[in-house]
Structure 1
Amino acid sequence: MERLGTGIGWRPEIAGTVAELPGLDWVEVVAENICPGHLPEPLQRLRERGTTIVPHGVSLGLGGADRPDPGRLAALAERAQALGAPLVTEHIAFVRAGGPLTASPELEAGHLLPVPRTREALDVLCENVRIAQDALPVPLALENIAALIAWPGEELTEGQFLSELVERTGVRLLIDVANLHTNRVNRGEDPAAALDGLPVDAIAYVHVAGGVEKDGVWHDSHAHPVTEPVLEVLADLCSRTDPPGVLLERDEDFPPPGELAAELDTIRGVVARSADGRTTTAGRTASPAPVPALAERAAAPHATGPAEPAVPSGESPRPGDADPAGEGTPPEGAAPSEAAGSAEPLPPEPVDAASLPDGEAAAAGDAARQRLALAQTALLSALVAGTPAPEGFDHGRLRVQSRALRAKRADVVAKVAPELPDLLGSGYRPAFLRYARTRPMSGGYRRDALDFAEHLLHRPGSGHAPDPAVRRRLEAWWRERSGPAPLPRGRLARLLAGMRRTH
C-alpha cells in the first residue's frame, strides 16, 4: 500500500490554511463536493505541486440492499481519475432505503446508518463491494462508522465483520479511531476488541477526529479538538501496525492555523511513539500478530460492554441523548449463554453462493436483498417518517436518532440554501423541524430546501408567520430555483390556492 503520511481533510473554509500547513503530505476531499472539470483553485494548486488527494465518498450506500448505482460509481471513478488519486474511500453504511425491492417510495437518511452485522447482510455487502471494485479505476477502502443505534440479532462483532469482509473481497480498510471511541461510549463496544479482530495489513489509512461528551453521550462532531481517549485508541492501533496514512478530520468551527498545526503535530507524535514501541531491542520492527482463521474468530465470544447510559430522571431527551426510556436492555453484545446458562453455539457458516447452481445462487441473493431491504426500509421509515419502530430496536434510541437526523437536515439545508434562514429568521428552525418530522428527504438537500419552501407556501399554518412580504420573497426564491419543469396540475392548483388565501 502506498505511503500517505500525515494529512488533513480539505475544506473550502480552510483552503488557505491547508496550503500553508508545515509537513502536510496529503489531503482528503469529499467526493460529492467537487466537480472534476472545475476543481476549486486552491485544490488545483495542491494537485499541481504534487500533493496527493484522495476522494472520500459519502453517498454510495454500499451497505444498502440495492446494488450500487452505476451513475454514482461512474462519478466517483471520474473524480479519482481527475485527481490522480491512488485510491478512493467510502463507508460501510446504508444511506437510503425503499424503492423497487420493497414496492415503496425511496427514502434518504441524509446520514450514514449502520449495517446489521449478520452473515446475510455481509453477503449483500460483499457483492456490492465487488461491483464497486470492478467499476473503479483504483483500489477501494471502506470506513467503519459511528452509530447510536444497534440492530437486534447481530451475529458478528465489528472486528469479525470487517475481517470477513476483507477476506472475501480484498477491500482495504479506512479505520476511524474516533468512531471506535464513539461506539465505546454510546454502545459499550470495546475498541481494543475491534482492533483485535482486524486484518491490520489491510488498513489503507486512519481517520482521527474530535468530539465532545454531553450527558454521557459522545457526539462525533468533527468540530472540536481531538481528545485524549481518541488519541489512546490511535496509539493502540499504531502499536499493532504502522498505518500507511493518518488524517485529521475537521468539518466545522475551524480553529486558527496554529491550533490545526499543533493537532497534526500531536498526531505525528502518537504515531512516532507507537512506532518506537513496536521496535525490538535489536532494532527490528515486530510483526503484527497474524489474523486468526475464520473458524477461530467465529468461535471467539462477542465482546461485552457497560450498559447504555440513561438520561437523568425527568429530563427531556435531546439530540444525541441515550435511551430516555430506561428499558433495561442487556449490555450490547452479551452472549446468550449469560442469560440462558448454556454455551453459545457457533454461528452457521455462510452459504457459498459460488457453489450453488447459477439459478439458485441468484435466487438466494435476491431473497437476501429483499429481506435486507424490508428491514432497512422499516428502520429508516421509523427514523424519518414517523412510522412505528421495528421490533427489537431500542425505542428511546430511535427517538433520539430521529431527532438528530432532523436537526442535521435543518443545519445542512441552512448551508445549501442560506436564503431560507435569512427570510424566515428565528422561525426557520422550528418550522423546518416540524416539516421534517413526517416529510422524508427523497432527492438530496437542495431538493429538500425547495420542498420545504413549497411546503410553507402550500400550508400557511405550518410554522411560518403569514407575513405577505416574506411570502412574496419566498415564492420568488422558490420559483427561481425550481426550474422550468411544471408541477403536476393538481399540486400546482393547491399551491396557487394556498398562496391566494394569504394575499
Structure 2
Amino acid sequence: MERLGTGIGWRPEIADAVERMPGIDWVEAVAENVCPGHLPDSLRRLRERGVTVVPHGVSLGLGGADRPDAGRLTALAERAEALGSPLVTEHIAFVRAGGPLTASPHLEAGHLLPVPRTRDALDVLCENIRIAQDALPVPLAVENIAALIGWPGEEMTEGQFLYELADRTGVRLLIDVANLHTNHVNRGEDPSKALAELPLEAIAYVHVAGGFERDGVWHDSHAHPVPRPVLDILTDLASRVRPPGVLLERDENFPAPTELEHELSTIRRALEAGAVERVKAELRAAAGAAPEGRGDELFPAAGTGRREAAGDVGGGLLVEAGTARQEGARGVTGGPGAGAVRRGDETGAAEATRGAFGRPHQEDVDGARQRLALAQAALLSALVAGTPVPEGFDRVRIGVQARALAAKRADVVAKVAPELPVILGDGYRTAFLGYAQTHPMTSGYRRDALTFAEHLLSTGRPGDAGARRELRQWWLERSGPAPRSRRPAHRLARVTRRVLSRR
C-alpha cells in the first residue's frame, strides 16, 4: 500500500508558500473549487514534481436521505481523473434536506451537519456510499465530522458506527482527530474510546486542524493553531497504528509560512511520540506480556481477530494514480462476513430484516430514507428557517448551531461575491444576517448572493443612493442569462474606487 506521508491542505491563498514548503509529500484540494479543464498553475506544478493531489469533496451529502446526485458524482470523478488522484474523500454528513421525500421546500445547510447514529441512518449511508463507489474511478474515503449538536435516541457510539460502516461497504476512513476533540468538548465523547472502537486498518489518512472554545462550545474553525489536546489524540492514534498519511488543514486566517511549517513539525513530533509507544507495545507483546491498555477492546465487535475481510480493505487501496481500481476499496463488500458485526441484544432483530450478505432489503432502506428525510428536514428547518426545534434536541445548542450556520453563510457569500462587502461597507454583515433569518438558502452560495442583493433592493436599501445604484448595477450584471461584464476583477476595482470616493 502506497503511503501518502505528510501533507497540507492546498488553498489559493497559500499556494506559493505550499510550493516552497519543505517536506510536503502530498496536498488536498477542495474538489468543488477545482475546475478539471483549468487546473490552477500551482497544482499543475506540484503534480509535475510528483506531489500527490487528493480532491476533498464538501457538498455530496452522503449522509442525507436522498441518493447521491449523479451530477455531483460525475464532477467528483472528473476531478479525480484530472488530478491523477489515488483516491477521493468526502464527509459523513448531510448538507441539504426537504424536497420530494418530505413534500417540503428544499433547504441547503451550507455546512456539514451530523447524521444520527441509528440503524436507519447507517442503512441509508451504506447504500449511498455503494452508489458513490460505483460512480467513482478511484477508491472513496469518508470523514468523521465535528458536531455542535447531538441527535436524541442514538443507537451507537461514533466508533461503532464507523466500524460497521467500513465493514459493510469496504469504504476507507479519513479520521479527523480535531473533530474527535470537538465531539469530546461538545458531546462529552471520549476520543480514546472512539479510537479503540475504530477499524484502524481501514484508515486512509488523518486530518489535523485547529479551532477555539467559546462559552463551553468548541468551534472547529480551521483558522487557529492546532491545540495540544488535538496533538495528544494524534499521538494516541499513532500509538495504535501507523497512519498512511497525515494532513494539516487551514482554511482561513492564514499565518506566515514559517508558522505553518512549525505546525507541521509539531505534527511530526506527535506522530513520532505515538510511534515510540507503538513499538514499546509491540515489544511487550513479543515478550509475552499483554500491552498496557490494549487487548480485545481494540476491536470489541470482532474479538481478538482483525477480520480477514477487514484486512482486505487495506490491501492495494492507495495504488499509483491512474491505475487504482474500485475493487481494491471493497474487499469486504459482498463477502461472507459483510454486515455480520452486531452489538448487544439487537443482533437477532437486526439480522431478521437483513437480506443476503447482511444488507437490509431494499424496501427497508426505502423506509429508512423516508424516516431519515423527515427527521433531517425538521432539524434543518429549525436551524435555518426558524421553525420549532424538534423534540429531544438541546434548544441552546440548536441556537448556537443556527448562529454558526448564518455566520458561515455570510462569510462564504462575501468570498464568492466580494463586491457586496465593498458596496455595503460596514453594514454588510448586519444586513446579511438579518436577511438570513427569513430567507433560508435553497441553492448555492452564488444564487444566495443574488437573492440577498435583490432583497435589499426590493426594500429600498442601502440607504445611500450611490451605494444603491452600485448594488443595482452589480445585480443586473449577474442576474441575466449572461453577465454583462467579462472582467469582474476590473469591475470590483472600479466599485471599490467609487465607494471610497464617497467616504
Q: Give the TM-score of the pair, scaled to structure 2.
A: 0.83
**Residue in 1 that maps onto 2:473:** 476
Q: 1:55 to 1:289 in 2, by over 3 A?
A: farther
Q: CA deviation at 1:85?
A: 0.5
Are the equivalent residues in 2 in contact too, given 1:164–1:294 (CA < 8 A)?
no
Q: Please list the CA deviations of residues 145-170 of structure 1 after superposition, one character each: whole Å capped at 9, or x if unmatched.
A: 00011000000000000000000000
RMSD across aligned positions (CA):
2.3
Give identity over the alignment, percent: 71
The one-letter code sitting in structure 1 at the alignment partner of 2:49 is: R
Query: Which residue matches 1:173?
Result: 173
Structure 1 portions without partners, runs of 5+: 298-343, 487-503
Find the aligned partners of 1:138 and 1:29 in 2 and give their Cα distance: 16
Which structure has the higher relative contact order (CA within 8 Å, separation 6+)?
A: 2
Do the aligned residues in 2 keep the contact of 1:155 with 1:347 (CA within 8 Å)? no
In the alignment, the residues of structure 2 paired with residue 13 and residue 377 of structure 1 have an alpha-carbon distance, to the nearest angstrom, of 35
AA in 2 matched with 1:292: F
Residues 59-92 of structure 1: CA deviation (Å, up to 9, x unaligned): 0000000000011001101100111101000000
Paired residues of 2:148 and 2:217 also in contact (CA < 8 A) = no
Q: Distance in 2 between matches of 1:267 and 1:246?
A: 8
TM-aligned CA deviation for residue 438 of structure 1: 2.0
Equivalents in 1 of 2:479, 2:431: separation in Å?
A: 20
- Give the 5 Å matches for 1:300-339: none
Q: Give yes or no for contact 1:172–1:202 (8 Å, CA) kept in 2.
A: yes
Matches within 5 A, 1:11-410: 11-280=11-280, 292=299, 294=301, 346-347=345-346, 349-351=349-351, 352-355=353-356, 361-410=361-410
What does 1:412-431 align with in structure 2 at a 5 Å threshold?
A: 412-431=412-431
- What letter corresponds to residue 261 of structure 1 in structure 2? E
Aligned partners of 2:114, 2:255: CA distance in 1, in Å? 30
Distance in 1 between the 2:41 and 2:285 partners?
A: 42
Contact 2:416 2:445 in 1 (8 A): yes
Deviates more, 1:191-200 or 1:344-353: 344-353
Residue 388 of structure 2: SS of its match in structure 1?
coil
Q: CA deviation at 1:175?
A: 0.3
Instruction: String of CA shifts for 1:119-153, please: whole Å, max 9, x gaps.
Output: 11100000000000111111110000000110000
Query: C-alpha displacement at 1:277, in angstroms?
Result: 1.8
User: Closer, same or farther in 2 for the Cα pair 1:205/1:405, shift >3 Å?
Assistant: same
Deviates more, 1:278-287 or 1:417-426: 278-287
Deviation for aligned residue 1:2 = 2.2
1:182 touches 1:219 (CA, 8 Å); kept in 2? yes
Answer whether contact 2:77 2:135 (CA < 8 A) is retained: yes
After TM superposition, give the deviation of residue 293 of structure 1 in Å: 5.8
Write out per-residue CA displacement over residues 222-270 of structure 1, whole angstroms, 9 at most, x where no aligned residue.
1111111110000000000000000000111111111111111111111
CA separation of 1:279/1:296 partners in 2, compared to 1, >3 Å: closer, same or farther?
closer
CA distance in 2 between counterparts of 1:262 and 1:52 reads: 22
User: How far 1:361 moved relative to its partner?
Assistant: 2.8
Q: For 1:279, what is the secondary structure of its paired residue?
A: helix
Per-residue deviation, residues 321-342 of structure 1 (Å, max 9, x unmatched): xxxxxxxxxxxxxxxxxxxxxx
3-state SS, counterpart of residue 105 of structure 1 = strand
State the Cα distance separating 1:220 from its structure 2 match.
1.2
For residue 134 of structure 2, give the secondary structure of its aligned residue in structure 1. Answer: helix
- Which letter does structure 1 place at the counterpart of 2:345? L
- Alpha-carbon displacement from aligned partner over 1:10-47 (angstroms, at most 9, x marks no partner): 00000111001111100000000000110011111001
**Is this contact kept in 1: 2:196–2:299, CA < 8 A?**
no
Q: Distance in 2 between matches of 1:295 and 1:237?
A: 19
How many equivalent residue pairs? 435
After TM superposition, what 4+ stretches of structure 1 lie above 6 angstroms from structure 2?
A: 281-288
Compute the displacement of 1:289 (Å): 5.7
Distance 2:62 2:179 in 1: 18
- The amino acid across from 1:347 in the alignment is E
For 2:282 and 2:9, the matched residues in 1 are separated by 37
* Partner secondary structure for residue 149 of structure 2: coil
**Structure 2 runs not aligned, ≥5 long:** 305-342, 484-503
Structure 2: distance between partners of 1:103 and 1:375: 13
Name the CA distance, whole Å, in 1 between partners of 2:251 and 2:300: 39
Distance in structure 2 (CA, Å) of the matches to 1:195 and 1:170: 18
Q: Is the 8 A contact 1:93 1:115 kept in 2?
A: yes
CA distance in 1 between partners of 2:217 and 2:100 (Å): 37
Deviation string for 1:390-426 (max 9, x for gaps)?
A: 1111111111111111111111111111111111111
Q: How much does 1:276 deviate?
A: 2.0
Q: How far has the Cα of 1:457 moved from its partner? A: 1.1
Alignment check: 8 A CA contact 2:109 2:384 kept: yes
**CA distance in structure 1 between the aligned counterparts of 2:101 and 2:169, rounded to whole angstroms:** 25
Q: CA deviation at 1:483?
A: 2.2
After TM superposition, the structure 1 stretch with the greater mean CA deviation from structure 2, 380-389 or 464-473, is 464-473
* Cα gap change, 1:363 to 1:421, in 2 (>3 Å): same
Report the residue type matching 1:454 in the other structure: E
Alpha-carbon distance in 2 for matches of 1:396, 1:296 = 40
Measure, in 2, the Cα distance between the counterparts of 1:66 and 1:468: 45
Q: Tell me the amino acid that sits aligned with residue 134 of structure 2.
A: D
Alpha-carbon contact 2:180-2:191 (below 8 Å) kept: yes
8 Å Cα contact 2:383/2:399 also seen in 1: yes
Cα pair distance change 1:353/1:406, threshold 3 Å: same
Counterpart amino acid of residue 402 in structure 1 = A
1:326 — aligned with what?
none
CA separation in 1, counterparts of 2:85 and 2:195? 27
User: CA 1:447/1:244 → structure 2, altered by over 3 Å: closer, same or farther?
Assistant: same
The one-letter amino acid of 1:481's match is: R
Distance 1:296 1:264 in 2: 36
Conserved? CA contact 1:96–1:107, under 8 Å: yes
Farther-moved stretch of structure 1 (346-355 vs 467-476):
346-355
Scaled by the length of structure 1, the TM-score of the pair is 0.83
- Post-superposition offset of 1:273: 2.2
In structure 2, the CA distance between the partners of 1:457 and 1:465, relative to structure 1 (3 Å rule), is closer
The alignment partner of 1:347 has SS state of helix
Question: Aligned partner of 2:133: which letter?
Answer: Q
Contact kept, 8 Å, 1:181 with 1:191, in 2: the verdict is yes
